[in-house]
Amino acid sequence: MLVEQTMEKLVAMKLKGMAEAMRRWMEQPKEKEMTPLDLAGLLVDAEWRHREQRKLTGRLRTARFRQDACMEDVDYQHPRGLQKAVLLDLATCRWVDAHQNVIFSGLTGVGKSYLACALGQKACREGHSVVYRRASRLYDELAQARADGTYLLLLRRLAKTDVLVVDDFGLEVLSATQRRDFLEVMEDRYGNSSTIITSQLDPKDWHSIIGDETIADSVCDRLVHNAHKVKLSGESLRKTKADLTRGQKPAK
């Protein structure tokens, strides 16, 4: 009876990890006696893990990644110019602590979005807040916020995010409003947080899609100069996988 009352009190105090650990401990055969200090340590560790997992789940939910990607599943065998040492260094997330950026460039299908999501997911696991947006959705979100009066609130929220992932940047030329909004976001984040960009275009070609020389200079100054640049090449991963599915020899 005392055990059941203790379990109820742990749940009432929102110590669910501790309560679950106690339940498992009670059900296991006891090969040797555990000291009160050891039992307390076991329960505290379980509660800590439970809370950390809840925080991680919340960060991943907030990020809204396009793909369920993780660094451990990155394909280094496909010939696309991806250097494992570079990516493993990025996986340490030191670039986040240093408020640096990461730019993945290359043709469609080489895995830029997957790598961006995997790196963002690793940042979540390291305790950083992350927001993922396709570039077009980010522009739409900023336009809607401007229309409903929440523009400054959205800018503040984006500025406070440790890592902003902007996927598919440069698919179309930006309008005057879009480039001003994008500059506002990058200006707020410069030197305070980190950004991951994926683009089919090399950064040296971004001026043409941003559309205004002065704003393009400002955007590139805040994004490119302190960025880790990963340029991918080779055959599309999607095409290679499709060839393998059909039993064809993948393109070299």
pLDDT in tens, 100-155: 999 999 998 889 999 999 999 999 999 999 999 999 999 999 999 999 999 999 99
Residue 243: per-residue pLDDT:
53
Q: What is the mean pLDDT of residues 192-218?
A: 95
User: Which H/E stretch holds residue 238?
Assistant: helix 237-245
- The first and second tokens of residue 184, run together, are 């506002």
State yes or no: pLDDT of 185 exceeds 90.
Answer: yes
List of domains in the chain? 2-62 (no CATH), 67-242 (3.40.50.300)
* The length of the chain, given as a count of residues: 252
Task: Look at residue 1 in the predicted model and tell me its pLDDT.
Answer: 47
CA distance 220 to 16: 48
pLDDT digits (tens, 9 = 90+) for 43-95: 888 888 888 888 889 999 999 999 999 999 998 888 788 899 999 999 999 99
Model-level pTM? 0.80
Contact status, residue 238 vs residue 208, Cβ threshold 8 Å? no
What pLDDT sits at residue 239?
Answer: 58
Gap between the Cα atoms of 33 and 137, Å rounded: 58
CA atoms within 13 A on the CB side of 94: 7
Beta-carbon contacts of 91 under 8 Å, excluding residues fewer than 6 positions away, are 71, 119, 122
